[in-house]
Amino acid sequence: MANLVKSKRIGIIASISVCILAFLAYSFNGRNNENKQFYYWSPELELSKSDFMRTEPMFKLNSYSAEIVMRYSYEKDHSGKYKVTPVVDRYKSFMRTGHYSEEILSHEKYHANICSYIANKMNKILIDTIFNSEREFFNFLDYYKVKTRELFDKYDMETNHGRNLEMQKYWEHKIDSLLMN
């Protein structure tokens, strides 16, 4: 009888613990992006200062005012087809203290939009592609990560990290045009 009471108590405590954990998980991840590390990017979205959660680098190794860190998320469906989606990594993105401006947000947004363009390009190829192994898919993904980095570097060089406003407008138009195709 004592063992039965003890096991019922353990069961009740375990049930309450599961409920509390489920509530906490929902509270931090279910309703908004405020505490989330990652969220899916779409060109219709806008960046905000709260998307740059990393503490700025201690040593100034570069002259960047901000850096949005993007990733590619992927899913594989039941037929073996992959789909790639750009993701913002808020915990790795930073903005230097005192450097906030709409121009910087716009420049960083277009980095995210470059990722959307590359993801669209990958997804068009992925529609007709079946990989023989996960390694083949990861090689494909790695190739496009390099292409993304190359396009980021060209964008930053030609716009001087958004400081050259004329070139910044040119690149915004160029990226918007690429996203329409």
Half-sphere exposure of 46 (CA within 13 A, CB side): 6
Write out pLDDT tens, residues 128-175.
Answer: 998 999 999 999 999 999 999 999 999 999 999 999 999 999 999 999
- Does the predicted model carry a pTM greater than 0.85? no
pLDDT score of 55? 78
Residue 18 reports pLDDT greater than 80: no
Q: What average pLDDT does range 121-126 have in this prediction? A: 97
166 vs 59: which has the higher pLDDT: 166
Lowest mean pLDDT among 62-66, 105-109, 125-129, 139-143: 62-66
